[in-house]
Structure 1
Amino acid sequence: MKTPIFLSLSLPLFLFLPSLAVAAPAKPNTAPNTAPKLVVVMAVDGLPQEQLVRYRDQFGSGGFRRLLDGGAWFTDAHQAHGTTVTAVGHAAILTGAYPNQHGIVANNWVDRATGKQVYCTEDHNHQYIGEHTEPDDGTSPARLRVDTLGDQLRYATGNRAKVVAVSGKDRGAILLAGRGGTAYMYMERSGNFASSTWYMQQHPQWVQRYLAGKPQDRYYGQKWRPLLADSAYAGDADGPLFDFPYYSESGKPDAGYYKRLKEGPAVDELTLDFARAAIDGEALGANPAGVPDLLGVSLSGHDYVNHRHGPESRMSHDHLQRLDRMLAGFFAYLDKRVGADEWMIVLTADHGFANSAEFSQRQRIDAGRIDGKKLLAGLEQHLATTFNGAKPIANAVPPNIYFDGAAIDKAGLKRADVEAAASKWLLARDGVADVYTRTRFEESGASGTRQDLLMRRGWHRHESGDLVVVPRAYWAFGSGTSGATHGTPYRYDTSVPLLMMGKRWIAPGNYTQYAEVVDIAPTLAALLQVRAPAGAEGRVLTEILRRR
């Protein structure tokens, strides 16, 4: 469903990485030349790389630390496109493509044919199975313009490989499942997980059995309290904000309660529980055809916590520690269910995070929020004054602003003149760093700067705006006086974890080479010996693959 645009950028709590040597080439693998029985691709929504480093010493042995110590860890990995939001980042993971290819340019944008705002995975032809469906709910991957690794795996195996994705967010599941897999997403009205009629007409028996148990109700009346001793949170930005209760005004589990579960660790625990049910119910990793299966898991809770409290907060700190323990339990389950050396995992994130603007300001950093509605209103007024009452703006979903071509033509205006007037006015506003125009994207050569490269990768000529506004560092679109967000081409938003583990296929070590999330799909395609997705532009991370 449509996501509100939170606005704030701020200074990350930098914790510098130690000097890390590139891992030596792995010795030839003596294991049989077989693929993993199950490939797990996991995204932790809104997890910056710096948080993984900052809290590393407090992790247990079986979760994040197992990946860091026993897997391949790229310490300079990025979501390498300009608009770093959930849908765009999830689309990149298994397509290996940038937005200029996969077409998912934001969580919400404007459909040029109708002039109306659309949601990245909405599809009015499909509904949730057994659940209420709003018009803008995410129900299909129809707007994804390219295929995914799962689609290629299904094709290469004659549809014998199973591809399943589960998430607390519809876009998190759908964009990992692709067109040929099956997506299940958390329903905030009921607390259930459901698929949509894009994938099937009714749920299989194992889903019906799971839903009948109502596992989401077990949290009612409980509180989210700190996992660690008070001293563990001493360096965090805020005081104790715990005793977060799971309740409802009605005194029993209802829509308000189920929605509240998304604001803390419960939604991630439920997501992993449902993932276990999917592995058991679909016999993932035990494919009788002897082909690998693919499971996508997107854990949404950290993004909600960071938006509300900021990544510098105690709540964010504690949530990550809880998530670490959840992962340890899930990995142990996979060892037992699939076999300790029979599965592999990739863990990454869809985007990083800026600190809250207020936190940055306390660090004497120039930070703030740009009210998108006020900015658009001011721009419309300026253009009307400049062009004798003309109204060349059709609609906007920051950072994208869309022109009304018919209105421009009717007023006898030149698009270049409108672009120039709009850009000049926008660049004079507080917090605005740059404005990219359609002409600049289509006709000008790249400047060679990192920002220019990322913005061009993030612009799709049919879906993106005629103007794309880039905030200054530590600024963002939004209003209010609290909370944090993401969405820019700056490193605090692009820098994410990229870890792969599976000792029969992956050579462990800390890798300092630059890597991108779009490298995941071609790397897995090479390992699974299937064709890479059509739009994939990443490279095969050959340095981590054991010799086959």
Structure 2
Amino acid sequence: MKQSILLGVLSLLFIQCISVKQKVKSTPKKTTETSEQTSATSKPKLVVGIVVDQMRYDYLTRFESKYGNGGFMRMIKEGYNCKNTHYNYIPTYTGPGHASVYTGTTPENHGIIANDWYDKFIKKSVYCAFDDRYASVGVEGEWAGKMSPHRMLTTTVTDQLRLDTQQRGKVIGIAIKDRGAVLPAGHAANGAYWFYGKDKGNWITSTYYTNELPTWVQKFNAADEAEKYLTTWNTLYDINSYTESDKDASSYEGSFKGKANAAFPYDLANLKDENGGFDILKATAYGNSLTTDFAIAAIQGESLGKDNDTDFLAVSFSSTDYVGHRFGVNSKEIEDTYLRLDKDLERLFATLDAEVGQGNYTIFLTADHAAVHVPSYLQDLKIPAGYFENRPFKKHLEDFLNTTYGSDQLIENISSGQIFLNHTEIKRLNLSATAIENALQRELLTHNQISKVYTRTAFLNSEFTHGIAATLQRGFNQKRSGDVCFVLDIATIPYSRTGSTHGSGFNYDTHVPLLFYGHGIQQGETLQRIKITDIAPTISALLEISFPNAATGNPIEMVLKN
């Protein structure tokens, strides 16, 4: 009996212990722990996408000792540095670059095959962002605002954000170049703004977005913010300390009209009348400063990052491209431009800290392409390089086809390394387009400045998986591209003998920076090869939204927390 009672008591105690344990397991964590979990898994209030036009990766390392702690180095030290990021298609131009960053795919799919290209259906050249169905807003009777993203065939990560948030998440695009604002902002953006340098130097837009400039833009323009930069452009620091670049006023640099040489200082107020008015700012470091001013005004004017739906600010710094084209990638001017851009980034990041809150926003920074060293400079160092002449090249091909097929009208257009055949003439003469492609391929390979040639027939019948052939094919759009694609020798460009350019599939054009920073981003770095098309899927994964509808890239998992 006593044993029975004892067993009963022990059973009750055991049941109570089990019950207490279950209660302990089901008790919510402390409030602080719950907040930490929410913070770690919630979405950022604002994403800022930064594209620096024509930025080589080595600008991060060449000028590192002169950067401060609040711009590039803040992102590098506290964020994630993808040190081996490349464009994976040809051609590496501004329009295709911006489209590829934001769509997560290449021209093969998004259709922006160049900045301008020959439209074989309407028989004329078209611009990647021009749209005559719309009017300029902010400037009267000018073509400058007649822009839209209609030639971009796929969605962007910014479009997907608008779709996912039922249009509550705002998307704003900003750049001095119209295409640098329009393409990243996507099809469904709340607004895109670009710089119009004639007259007063205002920021404008298109009726695609709105019929009237928002109050904050009107206020910015009315303040004549561009006027303060029509000053003397001199180096930020002692020019003798700029040991990371070539001598000032070298023979490899272009200059402004009205100035005998390319040497600091530049009196912009006196030079502006001969250089497009306020447009002169585009080719100086101050163009980036003005862009930063306007981006800060947008953050405040649009109340970005102020509610529970993620907003997106797409900013492109265009002046780095203008400076690179004019002065070259090894100039004192390009060094000063990046040192000043570093200060502008610090200002922008400080504004984000104050307006959105540190830890509440995510930034990525990359480039739309890089650039080649000035070939004449390389030649003087005995490094293989050269210049390609377009007009005699076209005349040679016309003569060849006339001799071979009895007509010099078989080519409609040559542009961006592509030859567009005249299929009406081919049909009239009852010729084979494939035979002409093959004949041109054989002839082009005899040219001493052309290294590779591929035909439309080859791209339609084969899938190339590596090398230049694969990068060409990713840039080849079946409807929009030409019939024969050719690749110039390394460091050979169709350009002036001063200044730098881009467009190839070689490392000097494809290798760009890629930095991530802020909410949801790990700290670290990698030398693993990353594709530019991986950016949009990475941001999509961070935001837990659908990938852009034709994305071919993959999320960079090592960048993301959790």
What TM-score results when the alignment is normalised by the length of structure 1? 0.90
Can you give the 5+ residue segments of structure 2 that lack an aligned partner in the other structure? 1-35, 250-262
Task: Determine the structure 2 residue equivalent to 1:474.
Answer: 491
CA distance in 2, matches of 1:303, 1:206: 28
Contact 1:119 1:138 in 2 (8 A): no
Counterpart pick for 2:264 among 236, 239, 242: 242
Shift of 1:376: 1.5
| Superposed CA offset, 1:399-444 (max 9, x none) | 1221111101111211122112222222222321112210111113
RMSD: 1.8
Letter in 1 for 2:524: G
- Aligned to 1:109, the other structure's residue is in SS state strand
Task: Determine the structure 2 residue equivalent to 1:280.
Answer: 300
Contact 2:111 2:477 in 1 (8 A): yes
| Superposed CA offset, 1:69-95 (max 9, x none) | 111000110121111010010001111
Deviates more, 1:486-495 or 1:127-136: 127-136
Letter in 2 for 1:527: L
Deviates more, 1:512-521 or 1:153-162: 512-521
Write out aligned runs for 1:522-541 (5 A): 522-541=537-556
- Aligned to 1:201, the other structure's residue is in SS state coil
Contact 1:84 1:488 in 2 (8 A): yes
Counterpart pick for 2:526 among 500, 507, 511: 511
Shift of 1:257: 2.3
Quick check: 1:271 aligned with 2:286? no
Write out aligned runs for 1:59-458 (5 A): 59-132=67-140, 139-181=147-189, 182-190=191-199, 191-220=201-230, 222-239=231-248, 241-248=263-270, 256-287=276-307, 290-446=308-464, 448-458=465-475
| Superposed CA offset, 1:483-510 (max 9, x none) | 11110000110000010001x4111111
Contact 1:189 1:255 in 2 (8 A): no
Aligned residues with identical type, % of pairs? 35
- Aligned to 1:217, the other structure's residue is in SS state helix
Contact 2:132 2:146 in 1 (8 A): no
- Aligned to 1:81, the other structure's residue is in SS state coil
- Aligned to 2:525, the other structure's residue is in SS state strand
Number of positions where the alignment pairs a residue of Structure 1 with one of Structure 2: 512
Letter in 2 for 1:481: R
Shift of 1:136: 7.9
- Aligned to 2:527, the other structure's residue is in SS state strand
| Superposed CA offset, 1:294-334 (max 9, x none) | 00000001111111111111111111111111111111111
Deviates more, 1:385-394 or 1:312-321: 385-394
- Aligned to 2:515, the other structure's residue is in SS state strand
In terms of fraction of residues, the more helix-rich structure is 2
CA distance in 2, matches of 1:239, 1:204: 43
Shift of 1:200: 1.0
Shift of 1:29: 6.7
Contact 1:115 1:395 in 2 (8 A): no
Contact 2:175 2:291 in 1 (8 A): yes
CA distance in 2, matches of 1:235, 1:56: 10
Deviates more, 1:510-519 or 1:84-93: 510-519
Task: Determine the structure 1 residue equivalent to 2:510.
Answer: 494
| Superposed CA offset, 1:339-379 (max 9, x none) | 01111100000001100011111121121111223212221
Contact 2:137 2:145 in 1 (8 A): no
Q: Hey, which bits of structure 1, 4+ residues long, moved more than 6 A?
A: none
CA distance in 1, matches of 2:325, 2:379: 17
Task: Determine the structure 1 residue equivalent to 2:14.
Answer: none
Higher relative contact order (CA 8 A, sep 6+): 1
Contact 1:40 1:296 in 2 (8 A): yes
Letter in 2 for 1:224: W
Contact 2:399 2:408 in 1 (8 A): no
Can you give the 5+ residue segments of structure 1 that lack an aligned partner in the other structure? 1-27
What TM-score results when the alignment is normalised by the length of structure 2? 0.88
